[in-house]
Amino acid sequence: MNQTPRGLNRTLLIIIGLLLTLTGLHGLLLVALPRTYAEGWHTVATAAQSQVEDLLEATTLAGQQDSWLWIVVVLVMIALVLLMAGWIAVQGRGRAGVFVRGQCGGPDDGAAADGTSGAARRAVPGTVTLSASVPEQFMRQALAGRNDLVSVHVSTWEPVRTGSADAAWRGHGAGLQIKVQPRLGAAPRRIAEDIAQTVQHMDAALGQHGPVVIHLAAGARTRMSRAERVR
């Protein structure tokens, strides 16, 4: 459900990690080998500086003091800033603020239970909206008292079309991601079955359902937590 570009993020992390590793290795060699590596690096840096100065002089227009390459550098930096802004914008894309939204009521409502005709008791049509916080709080409260869970995180993601043709009202049910960290020694299958049963109770209470992803995660809090049973 999460539309974050994980492949791109991993590639950037690898590139940044390699650059930082090379920088650290470079500094370590400068300190550890001041005669051989440092002198060689000084020779290479001096030659590179000379080549850059020659290039800047060769690209300086007549009557100007600076090279036109600085304009190219500025344009490249602006492009990098725009790319970084776009990259930040796509992080975590897919989150939804509305769990379900649909129409209810209308001229086809049936007669009331007290015998009043349908024409006299027609409901006013309107829109029913359930915020994403409704199912999130429902699941958090339902799982809050469990001793076999270290943490519970519930999030709502992009809605998908659900509902049947004969439903009283139809809408777009969003998907839920339920991420829990079991306590050390807890039974993951039992936890997943209990969460699935809780989701069914929530669907029955709200009258709407959507796709649900149950993610059992392990982290530092899980490893440091106290076991509730003998393994």
- 101-144: pLDDT as tens digits: 777 665 555 544 455 555 445 566 777 777 778 888 888 888 88
SS3 155: strand
What are the respective helix, strand and coil percentages of the chain, to the nearest 5? 45, 20, 30
Give per-residue burial for 92-103: e unless 16+ CB within 10 Å, then b. Answer: eeeebeebbbbe
Query: Does residue 24 have a pLDDT over 60?
Result: yes
Residue bearing tokens 């051989």: 36
- What's the CATH number of domain 98-224, 3.40.50.80, 3.40.50.261, 3.30.70.1350, 3.30.70.580? 3.30.70.1350
Phi, psi of 151 (to 5 degrees): -150, 155
CATH 3.30.70.1350-classified regions of the chain: 98-224
Tell me the average pLDDT across 86-96: 75
Q: How far apart are CA 218 and CA 213, in angstroms?
A: 16
- 54-75: pLDDT as tens digits: 888 888 877 778 888 888 999 9
Give per-residue burial for 104-114: e unless 16+ CB within 10 Å, then b. Answer: beeeebeeeee
Query: Does residue 219 have a pLDDT over 80?
Result: no
